[in-house]
Amino acid sequence: MNEKIHPTAILTNCTLWDSVSVGPFCMLSDTILGDNVTIEGNVCIEQSNIGNNCEILWWSIIRDSSLAEWCVIGCEVKKSHLGKHNKAKHPWTTIVNTTSGEKVNFWGGWKCANYDGRGKGHFIIGDNIFLGSNSVVSVRADETTTIHTGSKIGANIHISQDIPEYSLVYVDRESGKVTVRDGYYRKK
């Protein structure tokens, strides 16, 4: 074991594999950290599984979640499973009740609104997805909102419907309405 644990970090009931680094003022409990995991300062992780080669940035909060290999997280993740090579580097991003595929890029301010006043729903995000800044995806109680593989979501958008594969979603400059261009990125 080649661990670097800062003296101010508090680890309770955690399993650490090889080459783990935990920075100052971190609180980790009931968590498994894979090989080559780097955790910067002021991070809180509870009841989670962090895959190999992940990087957890300053001020992150991860609860009841699992991260596959090579994720870079700098935000709040709760009750979610993120696939390989997911990136959510911005502290104002909130990912809850989400299952994502590989290579999903969550930009700053992306929010998952999973409570509609009656109950909570779930989100499924496919592979190779770009999710723009300050956008919100919402879901009704006991339902699922899906963003299918290869889609790109622009900035400042509210999504409350399923998005088809390889779609482009943006705000039309003239009308100000959200436009979904189905199959825009499909290879011909």
- Give catalytic residues, as residue numbers: 90
Alpha helices in 4-142 (DSSP H): none
Q: For residues 92 and 113, is the Cβ–Cβ distance under 8 A?
A: no
Pairing of strands 168-171, 178-181: antiparallel
The letter for the amino acid at 163 is I
Question: What is the C-alpha separation between 86 and 89, in angstroms, rounded?
Answer: 10
Residue 20 in tokens:
């783990």
Angle at 43 between CA 129 and CA 1, to 5 degrees: 95
Is the CB of residue 155 less than 8 Å from the CB of residue 135? yes
